[in-house]
Structure formats: C-alpha cells, structure tokens
C-alpha cells in the first residue's frame, strides 16, 4: 500500500469506485487509492434490487437519471462485462387519492423534462400487466425505458476500469482515523498503515457518519435496515418493475426469472443491523400476493438485508463541507444511490479534479440542513 496519495477514497462501494474511476479519467496524473474495509460489494452496492429509473418527482433527478440510464446501457460494452440489464420499464401504482395526486404531478414534471411517461387508469394497468391486480388502484405511471440490472458487475466494472487507469484498490483495509492539520486534511490512518494525502472522499454509504466524524464533520444521516428477497426462477411473465407508492412494495423479474422484491419497514431496528427477519417475509408475501396473486405458491430462495442511508429530507449529500479543506462527501442516497452513481460519481470527480460545479452539487450541499432549507419530497421507494 502507498504511504502517500493525491486522493484517498474511503469506501469501495459503487459511489467510491465511480468517483475513483472518473477521477482517474479526468486527472490521470493524480495518484488515487481506494480503501475498503471489507470486500467489494459488501455494502449496499452488493445488496440492492438493481432498479434504475428516470421516473422522479423533480427535474434534477429526472435529468440526472436520463443521463445515468444512458451510462447503464453503455456500461457493458465500455467495461466489457455482462450487466444483465433488462429494460422492461417501471410501473408505479397509487392506491390513494393523495398518492394519485402526487403521481400526476410527478408525471407532469417528467414529461416537461422530455420523458414519455404515461399515466394509466386501472383498466390500462391491467392491460399492461394482466398478472398484476389493479384492485384499489387509482392511477399508475409507466415508463418503458426504466430498467433492472444485476448490481455486482457495475461495482466490478468500475473497479477494473479504475485499476487499469492506475488506481490502487485496497480491500480489507479499514480507515480508523483522519488527520486534520491547520484546517486541512493531511493523512488517513487505516488498520494497514497511514497514507499522507490532502484530499479525502468519504464514500462509506450508511456508515459515512462515523467516518466523516473522524475529520470533525457531523452528518445528519442514519442507517436503516432494508430487507429484500429473491424467489426461485420462473418462466418470464413480468415485464416492468412494479412499485406501489402506498405501502412501498416493489418487485421485478430478473433476466434469470427470479422475482426480486421488498417492502417498506415501518419499524426497522436502530443502527446498522443487516439481519433478516421472518416478519419481513410475512409482510412482503401478503402484499405481493395481493398485488400479484399468481405468486402465491412461489418459493423464496434467498433473503438478505442491507442499509439505506437516510438523511432528514431523504435527499443526498454531495460535495465539500465548509471545513476541513480537502474533504469531500458523497452519501445519503437512501434506496436509490446505485442508479445515480454513474452520474454523481462523475460530478464529484469533476469538482475535485477541476473545480467544476453542477446543479447536483449546488442542490445537495450539506449546509442546507443547518440553513433549514430541506429539499422537497421526491418519489422514494421504501
Ligand atoms: C436492500 C436494498 C435495496 C436497494 N435497492 C436499490 C435499487 O433498486 N436501486 C438503487 O439505485 N439503489 C438501491 N439501493 C440503494 C443503493 O444500494 C445504495 O444507495 C448504494 O449502493 C450506495 O452506495 P455506496 O457506495 O454509497 O455505499 P456502500 O455500497 O454501502 O459502500 C460503502 C462502503 O464503505 C465501506 N466502509 C465503511 N466504513 C469504512 C471504513 N471505516 N473504512 C473503509 N471502508 C469503509 C463499506 O465496507 C462499504 O463497502 C438499495 C439498497 C438496499 C440496502
């Protein structure tokens, strides 16, 4: 392991690796080291549902995700790795007047941004996906270009791409301390040694608060367990990912035929617990079978959990805090960071390498919480 680097990225999830890869392309002369406490894919980036959508409730996210979807589609060829991307669309369902109103507003914003999302009545929902019950559904929204992917190849693709450009990736290397000298970052201490550096990116997902605190920065985010499961493979029958805005149920069929899905948990255990529960399976099964009765006999093969990284307004934190100099943040992405990582990683890398600002950096500043200027609610699952 190097004992000095121009930039140290802490965290080898999709965010840290996307930043490292884009930094290496934008600033090839810089030495970059990624320190990952465990193995690649050990965090939320290896545990998520692989949903990738441009249906959002604000123009910034819609435009960001239009760009990100292009990156997801190009990734396999660019990084020479199979990503199991399946563009079957996303179908959102609203089962209350309030949610139907929100959905109508969101679709207006999406269409204004150039997306051809359709608003569907219950009969049109049934025509689109006959296997899904439209009972109690007020409205649906459907965009055929949204997708599901298998997440791991994106983590591996960025890691391999970064390595090929000279980035050092040290797995099983936990950061234990960050030195700040005269108001600026000066070194990172890990359980495998110290690296002198003037620039540090904290990309530790839901564990970011503890790491940012090492440099004296308090993040208002907290970890929230989110459970998910995968069934035996079934003959393909379900084209879109179905997401119910009322109870947070979502499910999709992977390219291999498995039904992968989850549901909101009203009372997750506090802290970074990642255990699985029977209560989740019961809640998910009840909601899933009500929405898709033909899944009543499907067998669950695998159940796991990961951490959502939640901020007070459910929006991300991106960019440099007021102090110390040389520290950068990229966290708070709740249940949708995977889909945004190609673009936000590129934006943060451009800021670190060339000082380039962007709407995302301006909107997702940490300081908004202290200033009492939270973001408006977005279209969140879970
Ligand atoms: C069940 C579930 C379903 C989801 N579904 C979706 C979805 O469908 N679509 C979507 O876009 N997003 C989804 N998400 C969210 C998405 O997975 C995350 O937003 C994204 O993966 C966050 O990436 P990250 O790199 O910030 O964090 P992580 O992937 O968690 O990576 C952080 C890394 O930092 C490392 N680390 C922590 N502390 C230290 C330390 N002290 N030293 C060194 N390394 C450290 C960790 O080991 C970890 O590998 C889901 C999340 C979960 C849990």
The answer on 253 and 205 residing in a single domain is no
Long-range contacts of 265-272 (CB under 8 A, 24+ apart): 265/225, 265/226, 265/227, 265/382, 268/224, 268/225, 268/226, 269/225, 271/223, 272/206, 272/207, 272/223, 272/225, 272/307
Residues 264 and 357 in one domain: no
For residue 319, what is the domain's CATH number? 3.50.50.60
Identify which of 34, 46, 335 to mutate to test ligand 1's pocket (most ligand atoms within 8 A of the CB): 335
Residue 291 sits in the same domain as residue 164: no
Residue-level pLDDT at 380: 82
Q: How far is the CA of 307 from the centre of ligand 1 (A)?
A: 7
How far apart are the C-alpha atoms of 295 and 290, rounded to whole Å? 9
> Which of 263, 288, 310 is at the close of a domain?
310
CATH number at residue 283: 3.30.9.10
49 lines ligand 1 (CB under 6 A): yes
Tens digit of each residue's pLDDT (9 = 90 or more) over 301-352? 999 999 999 999 999 999 999 999 999 999 999 999 999 999 999 999 999 9
Tokens representing 2?
A: 């190097």
The residue whose C-alpha atom lies closest to atom 27 belonging to ligand 1 is 205
Q: Is 175 in the pocket of ligand 1 (CB under 6 A)?
A: yes
> 243 CA distance to ligand 1 centroid (A)?
21
Q: Are residues 132 and 175 in the same domain?
A: no
Predicted confidence at residue 266, as pLDDT, reads 85
Buried b vs exposed e over 67-95: b needs ≥16 C-beta within 10 Å?
ebbebbbebbeebebebebbbbbbbbbbb
Q: Is 224 in the pocket of ligand 1 (CB under 6 A)?
A: no
Write the CA distances from 227 to 80, 264, 309, integer angstroms: 31, 8, 14
Range of the domain at 325: 7-46+152-221+313-370
Residue 137 and residue 181 share a domain:
no
The CA 99 to ligand 1 mean position distance, Å, reads 28
Same domain, 289 and 229: yes
Number of domains into which the chain is organized: 2
DSSP-derived secondary structure letter, 293: G
Q: What is the pLDDT of residue 377?
A: 86
From 277, 292, 310, the end of a domain falls on 310
Does 247 lie in the same domain as 133? yes
Please check whether residue 26 lies inside any domain of the structure: yes
How confident is the model at residue 381, as a pLDDT? Answer: 79
Ligand 1 touching residue 205 (CB < 6 A): yes
Give every CB contact of residue 30 below 8 A, 6+ residues apart in sequence.
6, 7, 23, 24, 353
Stated pTM of the model: 0.97
Kindly state whether residue 365 falls inside one of the protein's structural domains: yes
The answer as to whether 71 is a domain residue is no
Look at residue 57 and tell me if it is in a domain. no
Looking at the structure, tell me whether residues 98 and 200 fall in a common domain: no
Chain-wide mean pLDDT for the chain?
A: 97
Asked if 328 contacts 319 with a C-beta cutoff of 8 angstroms, the reply is yes
Q: Is residue 236, in this structure, part of any structural domain at all? A: yes
Is residue 375 a part of any domain in this protein? no
Query: Do 142 and 250 reside in the same domain of the chain?
Result: yes
What is the reported pLDDT for 104? 97
Q: With a 6 A CB cut-off, is 381 part of the ligand 1 pocket? A: no
Residue 36 lies in a domain: yes
The predicted pLDDT at position 298 comes to 95
Q: Which of 164, 161, 205, 10 is nearest to 71 (CA)?
A: 161
Q: Which of 310, 326, 348 is the last residue of a domain?
A: 310
Pocket lining: 337 vs ligand 1, CB cutoff 6 Å: yes
**Are residues 335 and 233 located together in one domain of the fold?**
no
What angle do the packed helices 59-79 and 152-164 form, to 10 degrees?
A: 70
Residues 263 and 326 in one domain: no
> How remote is the CA of residue 246 from the centroid of ligand 1, in Å?
25
pLDDT digit string (tens) for 184-201? Answer: 999 999 999 999 999 999
Predicted confidence pLDDT, tens digits, the chain (382 residues):
999 999 999 999 999 999 999 999 999 999 999 999 999 999 999 999 999 999 999 999 999 999 999 999 999 999 999 999 999 999 999 999 999 999 999 999 999 999 999 999 999 999 999 999 999 999 999 999 999 999 999 999 999 999 999 999 999 999 999 999 999 999 999 999 999 999 999 999 999 999 999 999 999 999 999 999 999 999 999 999 999 999 999 999 999 999 999 999 988 999 999 999 999 999 999 999 999 999 999 999 999 999 999 999 999 999 999 999 999 999 999 999 999 999 999 999 999 999 999 999 999 999 999 999 999 988 887 6
Do 195 and 208 fall into the same domain? yes
Assigned domain for 233 exists: yes
Q: Judge if the beta carbon of residue 53 lies within 6 A of ligand 1.
A: no
């Amino acid at each position: 392991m190097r004992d000095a680097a121009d930039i140290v990225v802490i965290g080898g999830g999709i965010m840290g690796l996307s930043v490292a890869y884009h930094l290496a392309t934008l600033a090839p002369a810089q030495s970059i080291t990624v320190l990952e406490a465990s193995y690649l894919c050990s965090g939320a980036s290896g545990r998520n549902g692989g949903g990738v959508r441009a249906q959002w409730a604000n123009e910034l996210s819609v435009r960001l995700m239009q760009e990100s979807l292009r990156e997801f589609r190009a990734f396999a060829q660019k990084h020479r790795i199979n990503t199991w991307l399946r563009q079957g669309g996303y179908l959102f369902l609203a089962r209350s007047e309030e949610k139907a109103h929100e959905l109508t507003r969101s679709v207006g914003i999406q269409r204004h941004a150039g997306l051809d999302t359709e608003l569907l009545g219950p009969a049109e929902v049934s025509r689109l996906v006959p296997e899904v019950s439209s009972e109690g559904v007020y409205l649906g929204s459907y965009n055929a270009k949204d997708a599901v992917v298998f997440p791991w190849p994106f983590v591996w693709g960025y890691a391999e791409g970064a390595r090929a450009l000279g980035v050092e990736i040290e797995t099983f290397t936990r950061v234990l301390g960050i030195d700040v000298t005269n108001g600026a970052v000066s070194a990172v201490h890990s359980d495998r040694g110290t690296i002198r550096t003037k620039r540090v990116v904290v990309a530790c997902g839901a564990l970011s608060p503890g790491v940012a605190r090492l440099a004296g920065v308090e993040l208002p985010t907290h970890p929230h367990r989110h459970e998910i499961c995968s069934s035996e493979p079934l003959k393909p029958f379900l084209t879109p990912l179905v997401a119910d805005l009322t109870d947070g149920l979502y499910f999709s069929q992977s390219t291999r035929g498995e039904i992968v899905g989850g549901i909101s948990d009203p009372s997750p255990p506090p802290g970074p617990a990642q255990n699985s529960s029977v209560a989740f399976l019961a809640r998910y099964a009840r909601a899933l079978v009500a929405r898709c009765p033909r899944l009543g006999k499907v067998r669950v093969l695998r159940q796991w959990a990961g951490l959502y990284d939640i901020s007070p307004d459910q929006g991300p934190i991106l960019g440099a805090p007021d102090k110390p100099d040389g520290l950068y943040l990229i966290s708070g992405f709740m249940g949708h960071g995977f889909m945004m990582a190609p673009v936000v990683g590129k934006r943060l890398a451009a800021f670190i390498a060339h000082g380039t600002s962007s709407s995302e950096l301006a909107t997702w500043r940490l300081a908004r919480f202290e200033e009492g200027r939270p973001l408006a609610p977005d279209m969140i699952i879970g």
